Amino acid sequence: MSQIAQNLINLKQKVPDHIKIVAVSKTKPVSDIMEAYNAGHRIFGENRVQELLDKKDRMPADIEWHMIGHLQSNKVKFIVPFISMIHSIDSFKLLRAVDSEAQKTGRTIDCLLQFHIADEETKSGFSREEVEEMLRSNDFRKLERVNICGVMGMATFTGDMDKVRLEFRSLAGIFRELRKSYFSHSDDFREISMGMSGDYNVAIEEGTTMIRIGSIIFGERKH
């Protein structure tokens, strides 16, 4: 069995069945992704549009591709025809761009609202106030082709797991409050995308529903 297949099996043994694993294949070649595919995995995450498009064309059609990285509005049109979920909605402008491209294709796109829960300024995402203002606006209500499925966040890059835990806990709290106040009518608002290779155990303890795992499956990235 290949190392990647073995890594996946080991990981799946540690993760409860109801939690989805997004295999983050950024920077890795198609041959590596095919090893995970042949081991039965179908959900893959990429963070750059061009790389995603290149890989998608060379991979089987039954893969669920998830966009997990910062997305520019002008690139939305390239992924809307096939993307399964966009985790990284960080502005209303972007959400509106997804909606308008989705109209053209007749698809409805599953989206997560990305929150800024870390200390680092380099990480993007909404604040809670920004999201509430958006959710209350008339412009938001006019959107027809985006399906808001939950929230996403990245913790601070630190070995301090107590800090990471508090950040995940705040995201889970935001999720519950949004669900109660704005999405009580929706069965689809149910995902909390948090946890990566270094912190997925903490994320599981804090209620994640989707973990995004790269290095543990595919090995360390060189860049």
Ligand X SMILES: *Cc1c(COP(=O)(O)O)cnc(C)c1O
The answer to whether residues 76 and 93 touch, using CB atoms and an 8 Å cutoff, is no
Taking the complex as a whole, the smallest distance from the CB of residue 71 to ligand X amounts, in Å, to 11
Binding site for ligand X (CB under 6 A): 24, 26, 47, 68-69, 154, 196-198, 212-215
Taking the complex as a whole, the smallest distance from the CB of residue 103 to ligand X amounts, in Å, to 27
Taking the complex as a whole, the smallest distance from the CB of residue 215 to ligand X amounts, in Å, to 4
Closest chain position to ligand X (CB): 214
Which residue, 88 or 143, is less far from ligand X as judged by CB? 88
Which residue, 147 or 197, is less far from ligand X as judged by CB? 197
Which residue, 68 or 113, is less far from ligand X as judged by CB? 68
Which residue, 28 or 56, is less far from ligand X as judged by CB? 28
State the Cα–Cα distance between residues 155 and 144, nearest whole angstrom: 31
* β-bridge mates for residue 211, sequence order: 21
Taking the complex as a whole, the smallest distance from the CB of residue 214 to ligand X amounts, in Å, to 3
The answer to whether residues 70 and 106 touch, using CB atoms and an 8 Å cutoff, is no
Taking the complex as a whole, the smallest distance from the CB of residue 187 to ligand X amounts, in Å, to 26
Length of the chain equals 223
Name the residue among 87, 73, 28, 21 with its Cα closest to residue 52: 28
Q: What end-to-end distance do the CA atoms of the chain give, in Å? A: 27
Q: Which two tokens stand for residue 179?
A: 């669900």
The answer to whether residues 166 and 184 touch, using CB atoms and an 8 Å cutoff, is no
Which residue, 48 or 179, is less far from ligand X as judged by CB? 48
The distance from CA 108 to its chain's CA centroid, rounded to whole angstroms, is 17
CA-based torsion, 63, 223, 90, 130: positive or negative: positive
